[in-house]
Structure 1
Amino acid sequence: MSNVIVQTQLEDVKEYLENLVNEIEDVLNYHTIDSFSQEVEENKEFNKELFSSLRRLVVYCQDNLESCSVLLHSKPFNKIAAERTLYKIYHQCIQEFFSPKKDLWYEDSRSAYTGKNAIVFRQKVPKAVENIFASLETPSQRMREELEYYETDYRTKMLQINAMKE
């Protein structure tokens, strides 16, 4: 891919990450585990795990957002570092959005056929959490489709490197 294409993609990803961080931080900054537990009774442990997963997602996104900013302001543009960053974003941010480490929600692969949201929570969640996932789902799916190339490209390069070593 050319430098211009990678740079444009990095700019798009930066904008996506800014939006994701802002929306999730709004929920984390204005709600507490106790307020979530009042809204959804008897889910205090689940709500703690939910807050933890949302915080982890925000940290991953903030770190990668900073990387995007540094790369976009560097002269000359470092295409290799940008591609590596896009690969990292795919794994740390996009994959974590759709399939978190603690498995509190999952992606329903049939959602495209049913017209429902792709993210399904394992337990009932507060309305604020449902709303942010509903608003971030479509941009996250679009970003995943755009960044899947880096997943495939990276694996191909690693296989080629390993084959050359043998």
Structure 2
Amino acid sequence: MGNSMVWNQTKQVETFLQKAFRTISDYLNEATLTKLLEEREGVDKSYCELLLANLRRLVVYCEEGLEACRIVLNEEPFRKTAAEKVLYRVYHLCIAEYFTPKNDVWYEDSRSAYTGRNSLKFRQTPPPSLQALLLSLESEFQTIREELEFYETDYRTKMIQSK
């Protein structure tokens, strides 16, 4: 893959991560456990705590990926190998955390892709605002996942060959 293609993908991922980071950060800055519990009667407090913990983890991964993209994009000359490593890590941290978070508080129903519906399913009923936040980000996470799937196999192949 050429330098310009990797640079363009890194730029695209940087833009995506900036938006995802800002959206999730804004939500977390306003959300409190008390407010979330008030949104819908019967929401489990411990489940809400896990949801918030997973959002915090996701926002940290997005911020770290964003910073790594910026560093790689600003280096002269552009280092394709470093950019590929960053894209691989974004795929495995940010994208994986979004679709398969720790503690399985939500999961991806892969069959939903064929129906045109949202693929995220929640283990319990989440607060409406949190559910809306995650579902609003889904199409962009899906797009970036499709863009970066190449790095899943390519980077691993390169690592195995270099040993």
What letter corresponds to residue 84 of structure 1 in structure 2?
Answer: K
The residue number in structure 2 matching 1:109 is: 110
Question: Please, what TM-score do these two structures have when normalized by structure 2?
Answer: 0.95
Asked whether 1:156 is paired with 2:157, we answer: yes
TM-fit CA distance, 1:42 = 4.1
Superposition map of 1:117-156 within 5 A: 117-156=118-157
Aligned alpha-carbon RMSD (Å): 1.1
Cα offset for 1:115? 2.8
Name the SS for the 2:47 alignment partner: helix
In the aligned structure 2, how far is the partner of 1:74 from the partner of 1:158?
23
Q: Deviations over 1:88-137 (max 9, x none)?
A: 00000001100001111000111123332101111111121121222211
- Matches of 1:18 and 1:51 in 2, distance apart? 20
Q: Structure 1: which 5+ runs fail to align?
A: none
Q: Normalised by the size of structure 1, how large is the TM-score?
A: 0.93
Partner Cα distance (2:36, 2:120) in 1: 19
Answer yes or no: is the 8 Å Cα contact 2:43–2:127 preserved in 1. no
CA distance in 2 between counterparts of 1:98 and 1:119 reads 7
CA positional deviation for 1:31: 1.1
**1:25 matches 2:10:** no
2:58 is matched with 57
Of the structure 1 ranges 42-51 and 83-92, higher mean CA displacement relative to structure 2 is found in 42-51
Spell out structure 1 runs of 4+ moving beyond 3 A. Answer: none
CA distance in 2: counterparts of 1:161 and 1:77, whole angstroms: 21
Partner in structure 2 of residue 6 of structure 1: 6
CA distance in 1, matches of 2:71, 2:133: 28
Query: What number of residue pairs does the alignment pair up?
Result: 162
- In structure 2, the residue matched to 1:67 is 68
**Distance (whole Å) between structure 2 residues aligned to residue 158 and residue 78 of structure 1:** 17
Q: Give percent identity, aligned residues only.
A: 48
1:37 is the counterpart of 2:22? no
DSSP-derived class of the 1:102 partner: helix
User: Contact 2:43–2:126 (CA<8 Å) still a contact in 1?
Assistant: no
